[in-house]
Amino acid sequence: METTLFIDDKPLSIDLNNPIDISLAVQNNAGVGAWYIDQPKITHVEVDGYVGKVSMGGSTNFNDVFFNPHSHGTHTECIGHITEEFHSVNNALEKSFFTAQLITVTPENRDGDQVIRAAMFEDLDKVDAVIIRTLPNTDDKKSKNYSNTNPPYLMEEVMLRFRESGIQHVLIDLPSVDKERDNGALLAHKAFWDFDGNQRLNATITELIYVPSAVADGKYILDLQVAPIENDAAPSRPILYAIKS
């Protein structure tokens, strides 16, 4: 089913029957992880004789879910991730459909790190969001534990360029836009959100996505759906739609 969206007063046609899901789900004791904590736990409730598991005699399946949005699965965060004052990601998005550009990059070796530089985005178009797929793009991204692996990260210059280009949303298939251990510097986060200037309360960063290799680089419509949780970050489900015209 094709539908037409008007973004910045420009009509764009997309096929709603062909969504491209680039999210990774929170799973019970499995799935992608980071930041030195245990995997998620999904367990049935037992209280006052009630068992929340049909296979154990309960009338319904009724589970508690224990997870950290920054560590387990795809998540979207706002500037509240790094501020003393509370800002909720639930208030960061004023709409959910955005123009987006998918760009694949190969991190560069530098002083023992794998870094992503601004020069890798020379073909950046005028869009609302940029989606970064890193190479190699192997299936183990879906289940990897990134703790203590020093994953690739973005140089501060990249996020500064995105901010100056009017990019509102950055999505990446890594656990952070910053270096795993940087003594709290968070240079990429701070540059993108203009932490020391006119703070960007409606800009977001989405981490731990997974873009299948079959999805071509180029422009898409992004539907960025975030779980309604009052927190600096929440699980999210970014969906891409190819632009038909």
Mean pLDDT over each residue of the chain, to the nearest integer? 96
pLDDT tens for each residue of 153-204: 999 999 999 999 999 999 999 999 999 999 999 999 999 999 999 999 999 9
Helix (H, G, I), strand (E, B) or coil at 214: coil
pTM of the model: 0.96
CA nearest neighbour of 95 among 15, 168, 19: 168
The 10 Å Cβ neighbour count of residue 75 is: 28
The 10 Å Cβ neighbour count of residue 134 is: 18
Stretch (H or E) spanning 236: strand 233-242
The full set of domain ranges for the chain reads: 2-25+68-242
CA nearest neighbour of 203 among 23, 77, 75, 97: 77
pLDDT tens for each residue of 102-146: 999 999 999 999 999 999 999 999 999 999 999 999 999 999 999
pLDDT tens for each residue of 20-43: 999 999 999 999 999 999 999 999
Q: Assess whether pLDDT exceeds 90 at residue 5.
A: no
State the fold for domain 2-25+68-242.
Answer: Glucose Oxidase; domain 1 (3.50.30)
The 10 Å Cβ neighbour count of residue 231 is: 18
Distances (CA, A) of 152 to 7, 76, 105, 117: 33, 19, 11, 11
CA nearest neighbour of 179 among 146, 206, 212, 210: 146
Mean pLDDT of 92-106: 96
Q: Using alpha carbons only, what angle is made at residue 130 by residues 125 and 134, rounded to the nearest 5 degrees?
A: 115
Residue 14 bridge partners (DSSP): 3, 243
